[in-house]
Amino acid sequence: MPPKSRSRSKSKSKSKKAPPPPPPVILYASNHGEFDAVVLQHNGGCLVAVVTPFCNRCSRTIMPYLEKLNSERPSLLSTLNIVVVNAGDETGDLCRSLEVVAIPTFFAYSYGKQIHAFSGDNVEKILLLAKLAAQQAEEDKKAMEEAAAAAAAAEVETEAATAQN
């Protein structure tokens, strides 16, 4: 019996579906550099939760809710970064720069800009804040794409006018 040709095995491997991407993870920021990387430089929306392990509301309500939200994300939140800052001595500078005055505090960001914040343990508000961040990020992305397309069209028009002269 002749050996199987390699082209068949290649075509079979091409027909296999790629494995699904890993589920998103909750990110943690403990200093300005980490916060900049996962929030301020993120091209999309972010939900930032400032919590502390010593807060009963945080450990019993907020963190389990964030973990559930992360694992059961609706499609609207698929690209949202969920970032936790554990308030404490190590993160004091970061919390002061965020002007955190109560625990827990939540922030919504879109493309590095803070768009809303609130303090408290209302999980419905947390979900609304996450959706707000994701929706604003979609609007910002669309606006940036339209601006880039307009700039490209203007450049083409300028080049065409220059070529005619």
Asked if the structure places residue 11 within a domain, the reply is no
> Average of pLDDT values for 19-38?
84
DSSP secondary structure letter of residue 126: H
Q: Residue 59 is part of a domain; what is its CATH number? A: 3.40.30.10
Higher-confidence residue of 164 and 148: namely 148
Sign of CA dihedral 144, 148, 151, 153: negative
Asked if the structure places residue 113 within a domain, the reply is yes
State residue 158's pLDDT score.
80
Provide the 3-class DSSP secondary structure of residue 136: helix
**Half-sphere exposure at residue 35, Cβ-oriented, CA atoms within 13 angstroms:** 20
State residue 19's pLDDT score.
63
pLDDT of 150 higher than 90: no
Going by pLDDT thresholds of 50, 70 and 90, the confidence category of residue 164 is confident
Contact (Cβ atoms closer than 8 angstroms) between residue 106 and residue 118: yes
Asked if the structure places residue 87 within a domain, the reply is yes
Asked if the structure places residue 6 within a domain, the reply is no
Domain with 95 in it: 22-160
Contact (Cβ atoms closer than 8 angstroms) between residue 48 and residue 83: yes
pTM for the model stands at 0.79
Asked if the structure places residue 48 within a domain, the reply is yes
Asked if the structure places residue 17 within a domain, the reply is no
pLDDT in tens, 6-28: 555 454 545 567 665 555 889 99
Q: How many domains does the chain have?
A: 1
pLDDT in tens, 55-87: 999 999 999 999 999 999 888 898 899 999 999
Asked if the structure places residue 82 within a domain, the reply is yes
* Chain position carrying tokens 């404490």: 88
Asked if the structure places residue 145 within a domain, the reply is yes
Sign of CA dihedral 70, 76, 78, 81: negative
State residue 98's pLDDT score.
96
- Token code pair at residue 36: 């900049």
